[in-house]
Amino acid sequence: MLRTHTAGELRFENVGERAFLCGWVASRRDHKGTIFVDLRDRYGLMQCVLRRGEGEDALVMERGSELPLETCIRVSGEVSARPEGLRNRKMPTGDVELLVDELEVLGTAETPPFELEADGELSDELRMRYRYLDLRRKKMTALMVLRHQVTSRIRHWLDEQGFLDVETPILTKSTPEGARDYLVPSRERKGAYYALPQSPQLFKQLLMVAGIDRYYQIARCFRDEDLRADRQPEFTQLDLEMAFVTEEDVLQILEDLTVLLLREFRDHEAATPFLRMSYAEAMATYGTDRPDLRFGLEISDLTESLADSGFRAFSATAQAGGRIRALRVPGGATLSRKQLSGLEDVARENGGKGLVWLKVGDDLALGGPAAKFLGEPENEALKGRLGAQAGDLLLAAADQERVVAQALGAVRLEVGRVLDLIDREAWCPLFVVDWPLFEWNEDEQRFDALHHPFTSPMAEDLDMLETDPAAVRARAYDLVVNGVELGGGSIRIHQEKTQRRVFDALAISEEDADAKFGFLLQALKYGAPPHGGFAVGLDRLVAQLAGVTSLREVIAFPKTTSAACPLTGAPAPVSEDQLGDLGIRPVR
């Protein structure tokens, strides 16, 4: 064998044994005829000692003196106790060292493009281009280990709950589910295309019809959409579906799993049952459907109080059917003009026309650029509704409901960051429930499914599918932890007639429904059971447990925000011969 131990394994009880280690040169120090080499593998570090001597020892010394950093080597020798005063209590292997008498270079390294042991910031582009080096870093190795441990624990727990791990196709049919599909041309049937799955949604429903009863999968998913720090074109999700269940059954499974993971990987005992908040309350109070409850700053609606304001930005919005909303920042009057300008920018970047800010003076008088437009009734309404006190900052915005919610929600988060209001040690999981089934698409003048078109309407709202689609509520739910949507799901439609009614409300004609979803509609005719499930973004989950903000940190080979891979150069052109085999002619 090439090695008998790993670099992080040897301890004081191994003193006197002969050991063979393999790994990479993390550091090399030459001290008066003795060379110290720190050997690294994914298990840890081991100090190896090369001493000047004759014969084979001289050859080992010569090789050791020329070792570039990150060279892959194999060493062997006797495990020795370090002198008492030179033991390193910060290293698990710090009580011992390896007295090397054999050294073999397995792979010489060029000078790395960055120092792996350094703590300084590195550009994402550089790290992704040399990802195989980036992953050698202790922090990155630990993240990959954590991801493995989380995934392994999930599998084991779901096995105990009676779930079956079932794979579903990667090459499937293109169906409209929200984002654009990645398409794969067929060589055998030119002009026809597979799609990479955005999720296993339809297949897991078919598995319920098939009687599998409890399914899960750690599934790869693909979406051709605009990217940011919390999105990747290909990602992994924990996908789960159960037959003969209600919302309560699904949410209990999700809650139990979340409690388990927080306990085992963050040493946190989450309070149960998890808080539940309606979609409407989340949007009105926090300006988002994924509220971060680690700090306060709740948003209040002041439309009725300020509808007749002399401040035209307020009154005109109210007359047009919009909303006026505001939040109070205790002690926020200390924010500088530059910081307030930053908050105004945040509001505009999130769709708002601007942000009104007012500082509450010691005499409770309101000051700020907009104060002169507000009369005494408006001042008193603002202070009374928000509970303003001396030294507070009041932030207000007026626009259509969805716009003002999004703008103030983003401002709230920025204030929490700027004033360091967020409790970084807290864990605040909640379920967002009672979602609308549809949302209005202004550009195309039709309704879209807010989750997906297979979500079941609430039974008491079924009669409104044709008469008032906007009022129909969905049997849907999201899991939100610390302002991050970890995943969501719903009870599905299991009756063909109801599914066709939902398609009709989405302006999907019967012909299009049969062409795109005929296989599902057919399956629903064969005794489909009531069923529901959810999907949790595994990348997001691991990132939360690891305490990192970017999904790229927990994905071995991620892509940039332009969906490119700096490591391999993908996406890349292919030859015209390859395109010809597929019946494709490039557009120039």
Q: 96-107 and 44-51: which strand pairing?
A: parallel
What's the CATH code, domain 12-107? 2.40.50.140
Residue 238's pLDDT is 98
For residues 12-19, give the mean pLDDT: 97
DSSP string, 9-75: T--GGGTT-EEEEEEEEEEEEEETTEEEEEEEETTEEEEEEEE--STHHHHHHHHHHT--TT-EEEE
**pLDDT at residue number 55:** 56
Residue 295 in this model has a pLDDT that exceeds 90: yes
Tokens of 2: 């090439």
Supply φ then ψ for residue 433, to 5 degrees: -125, 180
Q: Does domain 295-422 match CATH 3.30.1360.30?
A: yes
If you average pLDDT over residues 558-584, what whole number do you get?
A: 93
First to last CA, the chain: 56
Q: Residue type for 569, please?
A: G
pLDDT over 80 (residue 327): yes
Other beta carbons within 10 angstroms of residue 576's beta carbon come to: 11
Output the CA torsion 455→461→463→464 (10° steps).
Answer: -90
- What would the pLDDT profile of 384-430 be if each residue is shown by its tens digit? 889 999 999 999 999 999 999 999 999 999 999 999 999 999 999 99
- Computed on alpha carbons and rounded to an integer, the radius of gyration of the chain in Å comes to 30
Contact call for residues 286 and 409 (beta carbons, < 8 A): yes
User: Does residue 251 contact residue 585 with C-beta atoms inside 8 Å?
Assistant: no
How confident is the model at residue 230, as a pLDDT?
A: 73
Same CATH topology for 141-167+199-277+430-545 and 295-422? no
Q: What CA–CA distance (Å, rounded) separates 366 from 352?
A: 23
Q: What's the mean pLDDT in 573-579? A: 91
Q: What is the pLDDT of residues 96-120, one digit of tens each?
A: 999 999 999 999 999 999 999 877 7
User: How far is the C-alpha of 56 from the C-alpha of 14, rounded, in Å?
Assistant: 24
Tell me the pLDDT tens digit for each residue of 124-168: 999 999 999 999 999 999 999 999 999 999 999 999 999 999 999
Residues in the chain: 588
Angle separating helix axes 538-546 and 247-266, nearest 10 degrees: 40
Could you tell me which of 572, 559, 577, 567 has the C-alpha nearest to residue 227?
Answer: 559
| Domain regions of the chain by residue span | 12-107, 141-167+199-277+430-545, 295-422
In terms of DSSP H, where are the helices of 179-336?
Answer: 201-209, 247-266, 279-286, 303-306, 312-319
Q: How confident is the model at residue 57 (pLDDT cuts 50, 70, 90)?
A: low
pLDDT at 155: 98
Pick from 244, 225, 387, 240: nearest CA to 302: 387
Compute the average pLDDT of residues 185-189: 93
**pLDDT for 311 beyond 90:** no
- What's the pLDDT band for 177 if we cut at 50, 70, 90? low
Handedness of CA 450, 451, 455, 461 (dihedral sign): negative
Please give the CATH number for the structural domain made up of 141-167+199-277+430-545: 3.30.930.10
pLDDT tens-place string over residues 494-541: 999 999 999 999 999 999 999 999 999 999 999 999 999 999 999 999
In the predicted model, is pLDDT for residue 54 greater than 60?
Answer: no
φ, ψ for residue 329, nearest 5 deg: -110, 100
- Digit-coded pLDDT (tens) for 27-38: 999 887 899 999
* Cα atoms in the Cβ-side hemisphere of radius 13 Å centred on 22: 7
Tracing tokens 């003002």 back to the chain, one arrives at 404
